[in-house]
């Protein structure tokens, strides 16, 4: 499966993968992130339910603290 993540094509051997599974594969578990899939923002509570498909386009951004 190929996904476009933040403008770069990434290949994965898995056929079916959830957004939550992808977050784990990218070592982002526990991080404060927001994910957009094909132009739609995904609620963190839905990460486990959203199945990724070949060709999906994702934007993943991390929260930055400051002060």
Tens of pLDDT, residues 28-63: 999 999 999 999 999 999 999 999 999 999 999 998
Domain assignment of residue 47, yes or no: yes
Domain assignment of residue 67, yes or no: no
* CATH number, residue 57: 3.10.20.30
The span from the CA of 44 to the CA of 11, in Å, is 23
Domain assignment of residue 34, yes or no: yes
Domain assignment of residue 20, yes or no: yes
Residues 2-22, mean pLDDT to the nearest whole number: 92
How many domains in the chain?
A: 1
**Residue ranges making up the domain that contains 29:** 2-62
Domain assignment of residue 30, yes or no: yes
Provide the pLDDT for residue 26.
94
């Amino acid at each position: 499966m190929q996904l476009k993540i933040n403008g770069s094509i990434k290949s994965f051997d898995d056929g079916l993968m959830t957004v939550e599974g992808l977050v784990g594969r990218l070592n982002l578990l526990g991080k404060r992130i927001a994910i957009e899939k094909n132009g739609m923002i995904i609620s963190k509570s839905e990460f486990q339910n959203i199945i990724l498909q070949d060709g999906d386009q994702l934007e993943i951004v991390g929260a930055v603290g400051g002060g």
